[in-house]
Every structure is written in C-alpha cells, then in structure tokens.
Structure 1
Amino acid sequence: MRRLGKTRRTVLTARTGGRVAAAVCGAALALLTALPAQARTPGSAPPHWDLKDTGTTGVRFRGLAAVDRDTAWVAGTQGTVLRTTDGGGTWRNVSPPGAADLQFRDIEAFDARRAVVLAIGEGEASRVYRTEDGGRSWTESFRNTDARAFYDCLTFFDSRHGLAMSDPVDGKFRILSTGDGGRSWKVLPDDGMPAALAGEAGFAASGQCLVSAGAKDVWLATGGGAHARVLHSSDRGLTWRATDTPVPAGDPARGVFALAFRDRAHGLAVGGDYRADQPSPRAAAATGDAGRTWRPSATPPSAYRSGVAWLPHSRSAALAVGPTGTDLTSDAGRTWRTLDTGSYDTVDCTPDLGCWAAGEQGRVARLES
C-alpha cells in the first residue's frame, strides 16, 4: 500500500535445548496468560517490554527479525538497519551504503550473519539487499524496474526459498520468488492469482502482510478494497485462494495489516484503521483451517494493530502491537486484553522466548518477566 509499510521463522532455531526452553517458556507463559496477580510469586514483576537503547531516535523501525533472545535485526526509515547480538545491550549500525533515501519495511534473518532486507516504494525504490557477514557488506539482489509495482513484504520458507509481494499490477498481486536465499529473484506467473478488488493492496506496516508456515504455505493480507481479504497459497505462491475476513475495509486506510500462523492451519489477523482519529472495531480475527474461514474476535484489541506474533511453545497465546499499545490473547485470538500502552509497529518471537518489538523513534524492546 502506498501509504504505509512474519511469521514463520521455521529456519531459525533456539540456542537452548528443547527441555530447557519448554521450562523457561512455561514459567513466562503462566505469567502472561493465566495467573492472577495474587497467584504470582511475591515480588515478581509482571511481563513487560524492556526498552533497549538503540542509539537512534529519528528512525521508525517497521522491519524486525528476531533470531533468539540475544540476536535481532531491525530495519526502518533513512535506509537504516541495526543488529544486536547481546540482547539489545549494544547495537551495530549495519545499514547498506548509499541507502539513506530508502525506506526499509521488512527484514528476514536466518542467523546473526545472514539477512535479507526489503525497501518499499514505487518503481526503483522497491529493492532487496542481502548480507552474509552480519551487515559488513550488502549486495543488491533485486531492483524493481516496473513503475506499476510497489513491493510491501517478504517471507522465507527456509534459508533458500522465499517470496516477496507487490501491490496489484494489471489487476493482480505480483509475487517475486527466490530459490537461492535471496541472491536472485524472478516474477512468478500470475495465472493462479485471483483478481484484486478495486482499490485493494497490501500494507507495508510491519513486514507481516506476507507470512509463511512450513515448506510451502504462505498467506497474503489485504486492505483498501470493499473487503479485507487473506489470500492463501499451498504451493509457494503459484496458485492462490482468496477469502473475505470480518475485519472492516472499504477505505484505503482499513484492512488486515498483519498475519501470524503458528502452523499451516492456525492463524491470526489484526488490523483496523491506521488513522489515529478513527476507531478500529472488529480489528482482529482467527482461523483454524489455513484461512479458508475466519471468525471475528469476541473481544478484539481496543485500537488499530499493525503487528502480531504467536508466543513460542503455545497453542493459544499471542501478542498484537500498534501505536497505542500491546494486547495479549490467551485463547487463540478469541479475546484480547491490553498488556502495555507503549508504541510499537511490529513484533516477533523466537523458540527460546525471545519476543521483540520495534517501532517509532528508534524504539526496540524485548519482553521480560
């Protein structure tokens, strides 16, 4: 979507062993989702976002790739990319050279050294860069030469196979594909893509308008048209099926802004109206059948939300973030409650419970309990 600009990370692994991670997650999830205040350990702090000093205040980070509790990448305005490997204690500016005029809105990281970042915009402003050395050097692997295309988001199924999506060109969303880890890209044929609605587009708000789960399943979120839809492909973007969601649309500022799938069946959608003076009722929905049907949240977040992520090792807990706060669900999206009122645009969690959030004014935080 011209105005703005993940969830899968199956290629990423936790540094801790499975039993240790499960124990850590169990304690933290209990605090987040179940225990009333009187049942908590005396003196224990409730879960909260711990703001990290990134050394920058003039950048808005809408791109976030959490590798683990220690390592995370963020990408944003002014062509900025930062990386931490010590839990946010220090940040290294690893921005691609000559990119100061670009707006990075999505970043996908395979580990502390390898990452792929997407710049949005019309025509040649849409670009993809790749690094294999922790950001010391970058290679531009794609530059859009079609003035009609505007790329919003990207996702990876594994360390080799990934997709990026553009707003409709000739009446259909355009899909870009890589099979070599982002080193090269090609436009997929659109024969299997349904026609876009009038005014329909994606929102480049959090890097979560295109997400994947498993080896072949991918979902695309839309807004701006008469209906807010989610498109699903089970063959890495060759053929797609579109489904209406109950999230309000009918305006260029409304629709589904972010998706999260914990497996190929169970997913969450959040969004609303990103204008601060407009309400966002019914701005969340959930699916249990890979997106064939969507049910509205009985108690949705109280305002527009641009990012969403499942908590690891949980079948029911997830976080949604937006400019007015963070909401938590403990029942797989049926109801949401406010956890924090700080401003964040995007959120991502890792198998070792390394939940991170990022947003305006250089804000990056890690969830602590």
Structure 2
Amino acid sequence: MRIRVIATLALSAVALSAVSGFDWRPQPRWEPGDSAGATARLRGLSAVNGSVAWASGSGGAVLRTTDGGRHWRPVGPAGSTLEFRDVQGFDADSAVVLAIGPGDSSRVYRTDDGGRSWAETFRNEDQRAFYDCMAFFDRDSGLALSDPVDGRFRLLSTQDGGRSWRVLPTSGMPPALDGEFAFAASGTCLVTAGDRSGNAWIATGGGPAARVFRTGDRGHTWSVIDTPVPAAPTAGIYSLAFRDPWHGIAVGGDYATPTSAPRAAAVSRDGGRSWAPAWREPGEYRSGAAWAGHRGPLALAVGPTGSDLSYDGGRIWRRFDSGSYDAVACAGGTCYATGEQGRVARIRWS
C-alpha cells in the first residue's frame, strides 16, 4: 500500500506540472556573498564542503570562505601579481594554487595555515610550456596540465599534496592536433572523478576537433576521442565534470562570441570513451560546469552571460540566472560560483 501511495503522489506531481506549469523540482538561485572588496576576476574555485571553499584569480588573488560562502577573505601570497587560474582546497587550512602563463609565470604554491604563508613548490623553467589547470585524485596525488610541448600535452605529477612535482614522460600521450590546446578558463580543463581510481580527463579545443583525453592510471597512459562540440581557434570544450568514473558532462563554446554556442554541450555515460550531444544545450558560451553534490543527476553550468541547470545529467539545460560567473564548484550539497570583479555567490534551492 505504501508503494502505491508514493507512486500515486509522484504521478499527481507530474500531472500537476503538466497541467498548471508548476515545476515541483528544486529551483536554484544565486545568493551573492561578500568578497571584502575584491576586484579580481576569480576563475579558480574549489569547494571543500558546505562551509569551506577557496577561490583564486587575477593579480595574485586567493580568497577563502569558512562560513558557507557568506563571507570571503583575501589570503593570497603577499605582493603576488600572478594569474592564479586554479586552486585545490583540502580543508580550511590547506590549499594549492596554480599560476598560469608562459615560462616561469607558471608556478604552484601551497599553504597549510589558511593562507597566512605560502611556499612555492614548482616553477616552470621551460619557455615552451604553459600550464592551464590541475586536479587531484585525493589529498596526496594530483596532476597539472600544460599545453603541448613537442607535439604532446605535458603533465606534472605530485604524490605529496602539491609539495613537490615532477614532469611525467609523454610516451603514453597521443599526439596533439595542430593548434590544439586546453582553455585556462575555470580550472576544469583537467578533472578527476574525485576518487582513488586513477581516472582523469582532459578537455581541448583550438584545433580542428574538440577532444577528450582519458587516463585510468593517473596520467601515465592516455586515450583520446573526438566529441560533437565544435572547435575553432577560440572554441572547444572549456569545462568537464565527472560525478563518478562513468558519468561526465562537457560544456564550452567560443569566448569570442559568448551569446551564441550551438552544440556546445555533451554527455558521456561510459567514462569519457564516447560523447553524445546534449538534447538542449545552454546555447551560449559556458566556461564552468559541476555536478550539484549529492543531488544525483543535477548539474550546473556557468558563463559570462548566465547560468544553467540540468535535471537529467546534462541532456537538457535550462537557464535560471543571467549574471556573469566563470567558475562553479559543489561539495556537501552546497554550490559556489565566482567571476569578474570579485563576484562570489552560493546557491539556494527552493
């Protein structure tokens, strides 16, 4: 009897939605936070849990919240003007930030005291390398991605939480296409499934095809697949997100034409081995994507022209906000977004 009652209620809710237009599914809205007067463009974002998150951006900016996104405070390296495009937070005290740029502009720093002090743990000395993003499998193991050097994407590896790094051999990396590179737009051109499986994925564009590279052994060997997302010198996949080793979403477009991005979203259900176009994409350039924590197939995408929500794992997207954000990250059921002029926000569900 109980199963029959639940089924009847569910069918009634669906019928009500169809007849009245009422949507019984959770509805999101962004609630702005206080970034203490920050004016940096915050493209790096890492959600640790429902209370703690880290953000990073231009002009050496690093911000941290410990109250669920209500207040963010600057904690970056003193005097730095580097472009911190990616950040990985481990807890309220420990985090790693990645600075992008050619040659020694690409660097990594780590803090273990909430940002009161920072140690430089990597400085790129190869003028041909340009590091874009990083991702961690756990608190110890992680990778950082550079655009192709000698025709292949280059990777750094750490086994001690970003305290030291080494360049991995490229013998297991497929050749890059002419003009192919990764976009340092939101720290999500390289992602993991957030577990110890060793799975990681790279998103690309810039060349004749937007592709996804996949590894199952923590970056030693890779396979690559074309996706249906269009590619061009400034177009391709800007962000990936995997909620487990199987279910992935990809979003992107062309930042030079942000209000038009046909077919610029795709989904994978086999760990990135194949990709299918979204049934209804955001339709505009999106630079960041994330799964909405414990809410199953709920996913978010953000960009300078708005934010979108998918209830079905990336197949159908719908707009819910028109504000400008560059990055989105979720943990513990809480989602955060950051963007230009120090914009910070957390999501509210109704």
Shift of 1:219: 0.2
Question: What is the SS of the residue equivalent to 2:316?
Answer: coil
Shift of 1:163: 0.2
Q: Following superposition of structure 1 onto structure 2, how do residues 1-369 of structure 1 map, counting pairs within 5 Å?
A: 38=22, 46-100=27-81, 102-213=82-193, 214-215=195-196, 216-249=198-231, 251-276=232-257, 279-350=260-331, 352-369=332-349
2:97 maps to a residue whose letter is: V
Shift of 1:98: 3.2
Question: What is the SS of the residue equivalent to 2:160?
Answer: coil
Runs of 4+ in 1 over 4 A off after TM superposition: 34-37
Shift of 1:293: 0.6
Q: Tell me the distance in 2 between the aligned counterparts of 1:220 and 1:87.
A: 29
Over the matched positions of the two proteins, sequence identity in percent amounts to: 58
Shift of 1:38: 3.6
The CA deviation string for residues 4-57 of structure 1, in whole angstroms up to 9 with x for no partner, is xxxxxxxxxxxxxxxxxxxxxxxxxx9xxx99864669xxx9421001120235
Aligned residue-pair number: 331
Q: Tell me the distance in 2 between the aligned counterparts of 1:205 and 1:163.
A: 17
1:183 maps to a residue whose letter is: R
Q: Tell me the distance in 2 between the aligned counterparts of 1:200 and 1:263.
A: 27
Question: What is the SS of the residue equivalent to 1:343?
Answer: coil
Q: Tell me the distance in 2 between the aligned counterparts of 1:316 and 1:40.
A: 16
1:81 maps to a residue whose letter is: V
TM-score (norm 2): 0.91
Shift of 1:277: 6.0
Shift of 1:331: 1.2
Q: Tell me the distance in 2 between the aligned counterparts of 1:158 and 1:73.
A: 17
Q: Tell me the distance in 1 between the aligned counterparts of 2:338 and 2:118.
A: 23
* Structure 2, unpaired ranges of 5+: 1-12
**2:5 maps to what in 1?**
none
Q: Tell me the distance in 1 between the aligned counterparts of 2:67 and 2:298.
A: 26
Q: Tell me the distance in 1 between the aligned counterparts of 2:32 and 2:343.
A: 7
Distance 1:39 1:239, change over 3 A: closer
Is the deviation greater in 324-333 or in 230-239?
324-333
The CA deviation string for residues 110-168 of structure 1, in whole angstroms up to 9 with x for no partner, is 11111000000000000000001111110000000000000000000000000000000
Is the deviation greater in 72-81 or in 276-285?
276-285
TM-score (norm 1): 0.87
Q: Tell me the distance in 2 between the aligned counterparts of 1:310 and 1:40.
A: 20
Indicate if the aligned counterparts of 2:134 and 2:187 stay in contact, CA closer than 8 A.
Answer: yes
Q: Tell me the distance in 1 between the aligned counterparts of 2:161 and 2:235.
A: 33
Q: Tell me the distance in 1 between the aligned counterparts of 2:178 and 2:22.
A: 52
1:346 maps to a residue whose letter is: A
Query: Higher relative contact order at CA 8 Å, sep ≥6: structure 1 or structure 2?
Result: 1
Q: Tell me the distance in 1 between the aligned counterparts of 2:220 and 2:118.
A: 29
Question: What is the SS of the residue equivalent to 1:355?
Answer: strand
Question: What is the SS of the residue equivalent to 2:104?
Answer: helix
* Structure 1, unpaired ranges of 5+: 1-29
**1:13 maps to what in 2?**
none
**2:10 maps to what in 1?**
none
Question: What is the SS of the residue equivalent to 1:196?
Answer: coil
Question: What is the SS of the residue equivalent to 1:78?
Answer: helix
Q: Tell me the distance in 2 between the aligned counterparts of 1:202 and 1:209.
A: 6
Question: What is the SS of the residue equivalent to 1:175?
Answer: strand
Question: What is the SS of the residue equivalent to 1:349?
Answer: strand
Q: Tell me the distance in 2 between the aligned counterparts of 1:86 and 1:293.
A: 39
Q: Tell me the distance in 2 between the aligned counterparts of 1:316 and 1:92.
A: 32
Q: Tell me the distance in 2 between the aligned counterparts of 1:289 and 1:76.
A: 33
Distance 1:226 1:74, change over 3 A: same
Q: Tell me the distance in 2 between the aligned counterparts of 1:298 and 1:231.
A: 23
**1:14 maps to what in 2?**
none
